[in-house]
Amino acid sequence: NAGVTQTPKFQVLKTGQSMTLQCAQDMNHEYMSWYRQDPGMGLRLIHYSVGAGITDQGEVPNGYNVSRSTTEDFPLRLLSAAPSQTSVYFCASRPLAGRPRGGEQYFGPGTRLTVT
């Protein structure tokens, strides 16, 4: 199993550009999510999905779109990049069965994004 994979690892954008961060998992997890991590702010939830065709907003959704057409893939789109979106982005997945409210969450290696 590759687990959770993310591409690219690093990206530099200019203000106003758009791009898509890719995320894929091969563990057949129903739940997938995107976080951003900034110094002193911890991990903040951007969007999440509990299955194909179902997405919802997290704590900081503005400026980002997601879709979930398959169980495996959960891309994050930046519509018009801003310097405030400079951050490390982590994709994660977890099974919904098991323990109360689901099991262990697995993270991808992250994408380091800089917007100039």
User: Is 31 within 8 Å of 50 (Cβ atoms)?
Assistant: yes
Among the listed ranges 8-16, 19-27, 29-37, 68-76, the one in contact with other proteins (CB under 8 A) is 29-37
Distance separating alpha carbons of residues 26 and 7, to the nearest angstrom: 15
Rounded to whole angstroms, the Cα distance separating 25 from 73 reads 7
For other proteins, the binding residue among 13, 94, 113, 115 (CB under 8 A) is 94
Instruction: List the one residue out of 17, 39, 16, 19 whose CA is nearest residue 88.
Output: 39
In the complex, minimum distance from the CB of residue 41 to other proteins, in angstroms, rounded to a whole number = 7
Determine which residue in the list 34, 48, 64, 74 makes contact with other proteins, applying CB under 8 A: 48
Show the binding pattern over residues 60-89: x = contacts other proteins (CB under 8 A), - = does not.
------------------------------
Residue among 5, 17, 19, 45 that touches other proteins (CB under 8 A)? 45
Q: Which of 22, 18, 24 is nearest to 8 (CA)?
A: 22
Q: Does residue 1 interact with other proteins by CB under 8 A?
A: no
| Cα-based angle 42, 6, 14 (whole degrees, multiple of 5) | 75
Interface residue list for other proteins (CB under 8 A): 31, 33, 35, 40-43, 45, 48, 50, 56, 58, 90, 94, 96, 99-102, 104-110
